[in-house]
Amino acid sequence: MTAPAASSSVDKSWLKGLKQYEAPTPGRSAWQIANSVIPYIALFYLAYRSLEISYWLTLLLATLAAGFMVRIFIIFHDCCHGSFTKSQRANRIIGTITGIITFTPYDQWKHSHAVHHATAGDLDRRGVGDVYTMTADEYLALPPIKRLGYRLYRFPLVMFGLGSTFVFLIGHRFWHPKASPRERMSVIWTNLALLGIFIVMSLLIGWREYILVQFPILFFAAAAGVWLFYVQHQFESVYWERHERWDFIQAATLGASYYKLPPLLQWFTGNIGFHHIHHLNPRIPNYLLEKCQRETPRFQEIRPITLQSSLKCLGLRLWDEKEHKLVGFGALKGSGS
């Protein structure tokens, strides 16, 4: 399994060189909105019309629409980082609208994702905006029923199937007990907007037809999105450290993958495979990440994870603090697992 191979010797002056890629281009941002949202709407309409022909055709069109929903989510993601446009007001407006399209409250997700960036790879600050990962010792200390719960949570069909859809369809409809007033209002307004869309679409095409089209789009998009997020931080040699030894630069270069995808998939996923760069500098717009990778000599040292090799990540479940790597449940044989 290949993974980032970077050194902690990365210095501050080198990091400053990344700032030249921070400036978003209004034309490119506008074009990305157009080539993401317009095809999504068109495919949604075609999927609706295909209900008269065959639901298999509907599912095929829904799969294509899901690809554009993932791309729309990347726009939303950039807006949450304030990197999609120079105007923070525009970022908020675009982020709120794309958040509604992707069933995600802007301010709530913005906060949890900021926590993720500040704590990724920190064993003592897990649990917010990440794929929760237990250490091998923590898992072994659990009673059988809780071990079963963790196994189910990490089971691929749950995580990338029911679980991913649940997060976007149900989980995002509620706020955290400690959420700020702004986060709570973002959840409320997103929920009201989604309810309004459901009512309008029910009147226009029928509630059953709307669900038959919207649900598979969300299902496929959520599965793809959670998979991307999973691969970005769940590979064998990923970086995890206790808080007192945690280092931001190592967490970014060793703890976030360079997921090298085929050109078409890279386009649909908005270059998010250059996740090592994104964690070093989240103010770089998604459409400049590849340029940054190509022009920065230090990034040539980082070995990518490929589409084929990424499948091995499915078997990884626990962090082994002794071996400093992610392992599967099979590694615990003989340990009372």
The band of 128, judged by pLDDT with boundaries at 50, 70 and 90, is: confident
Q: What is the pLDDT of residue 4?
A: 38
* pLDDT for 184: 97
* Residue 337 pLDDT: 62
Domain residue ranges of the chain, discontinuous segments joined by +: 23-332
Question: What is the predicted pLDDT for the residue at 3?
Answer: 39
pLDDT value for 196: 98
pLDDT of res. 332? 87
Q: How confident is the model at residue 1 (pLDDT cuts 50, 70, 90)?
A: very low
pLDDT at 98: 98
Token pair belonging to 208: 């059953």
- pLDDT confidence bin for 253, thresholds 50/70/90: confident
CB atoms within 10 A of CB 100: 20
Q: Are 131 and 315 in contact (CB under 8 A)?
A: no
Q: How far apart are CA 268 and CA 66, in angstroms?
A: 10
Residue 243 pLDDT exceeds 60: yes
